[in-house]
Amino acid sequence: MPLAVLTQTPDKAQTLRQVAAKVDAIPEIRIHSNIAASAGILAGLLFEKGFINQVLRREIMQQSVIYQEWKEEFLQEGEQRGRIEGRTEEARSLILRQRTCRIGQVSSAMRSQVQALSLVQLESLGEALLDFTSAEDLSDWLRSR
């Protein structure tokens, strides 16, 4: 059933509606939600999400085990990205403070360049900063990246 919308039917929207009607007739909720979610994922290749949510009830699709697994994975990935972004921001802030203490104020252009660095680059800059004696050292380091 989930593959039906991908077939060579003349009216794919009507085919999705027919799939939804057949899915609604499935009595076992787990099978019902898994098939609805599968149909929704495949329908996403052809239709806008609003239409899919209108035809295939979203709350049913959300009960799918695969939907639940993906949701959990997305949440974990988001949390991991948040932690990395937090570490990057902390490193950026530390580098900027160290730079100011070590070599004094530098231009806003250089400051912007430092703020655009990745976490790995910031860690490298943090080590190199110990040897800097002037803003020119920072400028040279940034040019070499």
| pLDDT, tens digit (0-9, with 9 covering 90-100), for 13-52 | 999 999 999 988 999 888 888 888 888 889 999 999 889 8
Q: Which residues contact 77 (CB under 8 A, 6 or more apart)?
A: none
Q: What is the pLDDT along the chain (145 residues), one digit of tens a residue?
A: 888 989 998 999 999 999 999 988 999 888 888 888 888 889 999 999 889 888 887 766 677 777 778 788 888 888 888 888 888 888 888 877 777 777 777 778 888 888 888 888 888 888 888 888 887 888 889 888 7
Residue 134 has phi, psi (to 5 degrees) of: -150, 170
Distance CA(13)–CA(103), nearest Å, equals: 65
Asked if 122 and 87 count as a contact pair (C-beta separation under 8 A), the reply is no
pTM listed for this prediction: 0.45
**Residue 60 pLDDT:** 66
Chain-centre distance of CA 82, in angstroms? 10
